[in-house]
Structure 1
Amino acid sequence: MLPRTRSSPRTGSSPGARSSAVVIGGGIGGLAAAIALRADGWRVEILERADAAPPAGTALGLWPTALAALDALGIGGAVRDLGRPATGGAFLRPDGRRIAALDVAGPARRTGDVVHLLSHPALLGLLRGAAGPGAVRFGAPVDADRLPGLEAAYDLVIAADGLNSRARTALFGPAYRPVYVGATGWRGTVAGDTGTCTETWGEGRRFGVTPQEGGRTNWFATGPAPEGARSPDGEIAALRARFGHWHPAVRDVLDRLEEGEVLRHDLYRLAPPLPRYFAGRTVLIGDAAHAMTPDLGRGACEALLDAVALAAALRTAPDVPTALRAYDAGRRPATQRLARLSRAMNRMSRVRRGTGARDALLRAALALGGPPS
């Protein structure tokens, strides 16, 4: 239900007059934006299409900049306490030989903090707790034809509706859409703890293992596949066929898989990149604005940074349009650069011939410091 009344239009209003926002999407970015705006005195509603919060999910890598954003939201300490700090890792070949060490201490040298690993449901739980009871209205989809009504009823509309954002399509048209990259991904968790983070790179395929809170092991795998394909004999059989001859640490995870706990999702990126992240008084954050392949593990991080940057712009600008321009100028170049880096990493990981040269290129890239912290 939309508010029955609203005050006069805010197009050129002063900061004190800005008061109401609606967030489309109750995921990480949407919750973070709502928390940040409410702290500044905004009245915020969150509309989520799904009927309930996701019950399961795998580990997210929260980089120092994302942890700083969570500090600004008041839950950074809880995330560090609950999550697992990354303490070591390596890139490996399928036979277990090392390609390169993973410099987990690098972010600490640059920022004083390390990457923390926390499952998606756990992070959502902390964000929902900070947002307050009943903050998310579940089972409340927002189709494209509702956007004009939302802009008329609220001072600000925040579209955090993910990869397949209907708001993005409504604002910029179908030319800006998710594009399949030619690879599918599997992920899940298994019982037992692993102390290090590893990624094993083979001929066009990859298998990763990280720690997760609660003494569990998070894993993920990628490989080429037709879009929308599924394995007729089950996903565990498909994984074992692709990775079952790799080194013992990979086989150990495969031996502990349970069919109902394996998640499979095709991999997409947003192409072409958006010319801006707002239109009118509607602004895009997270995957709705800059969906990228998961190769750098930065999707959740950038959604958090978007939310905090948007709140900061609204806090300091004289009006909403000026704030949205400032947010766009600050976040669009940075996130689109990361999307390009992630796409390049994805292409490297899917090389099938000349893997020796690819591995040398990976070592060189890591020696230069990797992605920003």
Structure 2
Amino acid sequence: MRVIIAGGGIVGLTAGIAFKSIGWEVLVCEQAPEIRAAGAAIGLWRNALDVFSEVGVGDSINAIGTSVETWFYDAGGRRLRAPGFALAEHQFLLVPRPQLNQLLAAAVGQENIRVNTRILAFEEEADHVKVRFTNGAVERADLLLGADGAYSAVRAQLDPGSAAQEHAGHHVWRGMIAAGDEPAEGSILTVGHQRARGGYVRTYGDQVVWMVNQFDSPAVTGTKKEEALRRAAHLNDNGWNDWLAKLIERTPEEQILHNQIMFVPALPRWTSARVALIGDAAHALSPHISAGGTLGVEDVRVLVNAVQKYEDLATALSAYETNRIPHYARVHELADAVERVRDAHEYAQEYASFTHWMLNDGYRASRA
């Protein structure tokens, strides 16, 4: 059996490792000239870490990660957690994206990865799917997996009219820089004024990752650094969070990432007889819940388990879709509740409610 995976990001590479582990021939196609990371670091929860352990890369990922215990702060620096939730529901592993992608690519094997390769179209036949690429190449496989992100070419053909949409008024700025003399405990996550949120935390290699975002943001007209500093000011009553502003000031302009947040609308289907969507290609979420990568990696487990359980591929893909679509309907409900909060107290409650569901009911549903 052979799978072609569109997209060489975290989810696409994880899928490549997982399908290799069950004996499939794998081809990962990445449109960029190299396997590279979009962003500075990613938080991975137990749902994803268990999948990585199952496919043999868990120890390596743990070795490059930093365990983070989340606290929530208001603009004046008061530290909060919602009562009644376990410590595990506030713990994740912060992993630098460049090192993570390199590690995953090595596990897939360079011989199984093609860069500068973008899918143009596909044609499904009774016994294979034919994939055409923009460079004129044609490949055949048993399964085509669209792990090509929010702007997925696979999704565009599978679900016409499903283009990614702007999360109106939601912008995020991020950076990673060598640690200085800022307090090691960081300020993740601060809920401030004007619907701004953000903070910083130490990570692998004596680096610091910082992030600021804002819902209902005014028009973005300045430089990336200027705009990030404006949001940081909303998180810093009485100067308690000056360290965040200092980190932003120290970050070179060209190393600051700014994104208008996009999302994928709810889809009528994720699969056909020989094609499936996975990760952001199926369900790109606003990053304010800090779990999109984890949930995408968990998709891999559900899909591979279905392929192993059912001899007929179409039946397996249907089972995968049946599991995932209602799962993400619940994710959206919980994520919307986190977005709508008015203050840090509400944020602590709603975010813990989300992680509790993800690590318990969501975890079990993905392993049913």
TM-based fold match above 0.5: yes
**1:189/1:147 Cα in 2 relative to 1: closer, same or farther (>3 Å)?**
farther
Shift of 1:104: 9.6
**1:195/1:97 Cα in 2 relative to 1: closer, same or farther (>3 Å)?**
closer
Further displaced range: 252-261 or 34-43? 252-261
Q: Which runs of 5+ in 1 are unaligned?
A: 1-18, 349-354
- 2:264 paired residue number: 270
Count, aligned residues: 338
- 2:251 paired residue number: 257
| 2:149 equivalent among 159, 162, 165 | 162
Cα deviation, 1:76-98, whole Å, max 9, x if unaligned, reads: 11111110011x34211222223
Structure 1 counterpart of 2:200, one-letter code: V
Query: 2:106 aligned with 1:107, yes or no?
Result: no
Query: 2:7 aligned with 1:25, yes or no?
Result: yes
- 2:99 paired residue number: 122
What is the TM-score when the length of structure 2 is the normalising length?
A: 0.84
How far, CA to CA, are the matches of 2:215 and 2:86 in structure 1? 32
Shift of 1:346: 2.6
Query: 2:173 aligned with 1:186, yes or no?
Result: yes
Q: Which runs of 4+ in 1 moved over 4 A?
A: 101-105, 147-150, 224-227, 366-369
How far, CA to CA, are the matches of 1:294 and 1:367 in structure 2? 16
Matches within 5 A, 1:174-213: 174-175=161-162, 177-192=164-179, 194-196=184-186, 198-202=188-192, 203-213=194-204
How far, CA to CA, are the matches of 1:311 and 1:343 in structure 2? 29
3-state SS of paired residue (1:22): strand
Structure 2 counterpart of 1:151, one-letter code: V
| 1:236 equivalent among 195, 209, 225 | 225
C-alpha RMSD over aligned residues: 2.6
Shift of 1:197: 5.4
How far, CA to CA, are the matches of 1:43 and 1:50 in structure 2? 22
**1:29/1:366 Cα in 2 relative to 1: closer, same or farther (>3 Å)?**
closer
- 2:16 paired residue number: 34
**1:136/1:102 Cα in 2 relative to 1: closer, same or farther (>3 Å)?**
farther
How far, CA to CA, are the matches of 1:200 and 1:136 in structure 2? 40
| 2:119 equivalent among 127, 134, 142 | 142
Shift of 1:196: 4.4
Identity percentage of aligned residues: 28
Further displaced range: 304-313 or 217-226? 217-226
**1:89/1:160 Cα in 2 relative to 1: closer, same or farther (>3 Å)?**
closer
Cα deviation, 1:264-314, whole Å, max 9, x if unaligned, reads: 01112222x112310221000000111111111111111211112211111
How far, CA to CA, are the matches of 1:362 and 1:56 in structure 2? 27
Cα deviation, 1:154-211, whole Å, max 9, x if unaligned, reads: 1111010101112112111114533423211111112117334511112211112122
Query: 2:50 aligned with 1:68, yes or no?
Result: yes
Cα deviation, 1:104-159, whole Å, max 9, x if unaligned, reads: 963279xxxx521101111111111111123210000112x345587132111101
Question: Which structure has more RCO (C-alpha within 8 Å, separation ≥ 6)?
Answer: 1
How far, CA to CA, are the matches of 1:189 and 1:238 in structure 2? 17
Shift of 1:257: 2.0
- 2:289 paired residue number: 296
Structure 1 counterpart of 2:6, one-letter code: I
3-state SS of paired residue (1:31): helix
- 2:29 paired residue number: 47
**8 Å CA contact retained: 1:22, 1:158:** yes
Q: Which runs of 5+ in 2 are unaligned?
A: 131-139, 360-368
